[in-house]
Amino acid sequence: MTIKRVMVIGAGQMGAGIAQVAAQAGFEVLLHDANGTALDEGIQRIEKLLTRAVQKTRITDEEKASTLNNLKRAKKLEDARTCDLVIEAIVENMDVKSKLFRELDEITPAHTILATNTSSLPITEIAAVTNRPEQVIGMHFMNPVPVMKLVEVIRGIQTNDETYEKISQMAEELGKTSVEVADFPGFAANRILMPMINEAIYAVYEGVASPEDIDTVMKLGMNHPMGPLQLADFIGLDTCLYIMEVLYDGFADSKYRPCPLLRKYVKAGWHGKKSGRGFYVYS
Ligand code: CAA
Ligand code: NAD
């Protein structure tokens, strides 16, 4: 079986990006979101990015048209029954993801691979709620998906070689470089990145410096393209907190304790750029 038709679930910043690169690479893509407005907004963002790419002469008008032609809205989750691969990119919460994977296991044919873009949750645990754990895998894209070259590919304890090879090959077809990473909390990317972001938040919390100055330190001092607080806002503070909780629970080590200021911001609904406010205010 070759992968031709793909459903991406979750049309937020990651899902829309994954749908875009898959449609650009020639896959037939169905984009689904439980929230109809989020689905419309996801498609609009893709159209805007493609128009910008045409203006910048990175792609032609024909490539834009064929990408949009490859991309369809899926109003119902049941449309996954026609797909060879499902890539889930919904909220970073084990209960919500488990419920979705149970449903997908019922809906999709036996050959369908179920992939998750989770940032940190155990693939083995997500796979265990299905009757096909050997065909469940982590496919962890980086944000913004159209720009960032890396995909972490994470096998659960039961993921088989065929599934791993198909997903690694697909990542290459999407123009990405894939790295195999073991199923440990936060995998490799977020195990390293998130404690840095959390530490930057502690530095604000303890009055070491302002968010702007901490970001300046890391941009000008370490040549990072974004400071850690700007990056946290960009990722989503809710997502950052979920990931820190997974590291804290998974390793039972106080070095991963989420900063109380991060918890407070998330409780306030300050989820970063997507909600209009985080460490910075967005209009
Ligand atoms: N979607 C698509 N394309 C985007 C984009 C987005 N959200 N944001 C920027 N771009 C594109 C722009 O279109 C631009 O390309 P063109 O000039 O050809 O149009 C290019 O990226 C550069 O953008 P800008 O000039 O506007 O800004 P920049 O030079 O500051 O680059 C950036 C923007 C690429 C996001 C850069 O700031 C960067 O690399 N930031 C760090 C990103 C990062 O660390 N990502 C990983 C996050 S962690 C993660 O993803 C894992 C997890 O589980 C949380
Ligand atoms: P987001 O909040 O931008 O989008 C999530 C989307 O999922 C929303 O549109 C929401 O309506 C939809 N959704 C929620 N529950 C759903 C359900 N049961 N069925 C269908 N749709 C549902 O989030 P995001 O930043 O795109 O993150 C999505 C996933 O990708 C998370 O697991 C996150 O950890 C992971 N991830 C995020 C980043 C990042 O930088 N933000 C990077 C890599 C991976």
106-159: pLDDT as tens digits: 999 999 999 999 999 999 999 999 999 999 999 999 999 999 999 999 999 999
**What is the chain's mean pLDDT, rounded?**
97
Cα–Cα separations (whole angstroms), residue 51 to 58, 68, 87, 183, 243: 10, 11, 25, 38, 33
From the CA of 87, which ligand is nearest? Answer: 2
Q: Average of pLDDT values for 174-200?
A: 97
Cα–Cα separations (whole angstroms), residue 276 to 194, 279, 280: 21, 10, 8
Residues annotated catalytic, as ranges = 119, 140, 152, 190
| d(C-alpha 85, C-alpha 2), whole Å | 10
Tell which atom from ligand 1 comes closest to the C-alpha of 14.
50
DSSP 8-state secondary structure symbol assigned to residue 209: S
| d(C-alpha 236, C-alpha 64), whole Å | 29
Q: Average of pLDDT values for 42-65?
A: 97
Q: CB burial class (10 A; 0-12, 13-18, 19+) of residue 256?
A: buried
Q: How far is the CA of 206 from the centre of ligand 2 (A)?
A: 31
Q: Is the pLDDT of residue 206 over 80?
A: yes
Q: How far is the CA of 87 from the centre of ligand 2 (A)?
A: 11
What stretch of H or E contains 202?
helix 189-205
Q: How far is the CA of 97 from the centre of ligand 2 (A)?
A: 10
The reply to whether ipTM tops 0.95 is: yes
13 is in an annotated binding site: yes
Return the pLDDT at 283.
87
Q: How far is the CA of 206 from the centre of ligand 1 (A)?
A: 29
Tell which atom from ligand 2 comes closest to the C-alpha of 92.
32
| d(C-alpha 202, C-alpha 244), whole Å | 13
In the sheet that holds 28-32, the strands lie side by side as: 71-74, 28-32, 5-9, 85-88, 113-116, 136-141, 150-155, 177-181
Pocket of ligand 2 (CB under 6 A): 9-15, 33-35, 38, 89-92, 96, 100, 117-119, 141, 143, 235-236, 239, 274
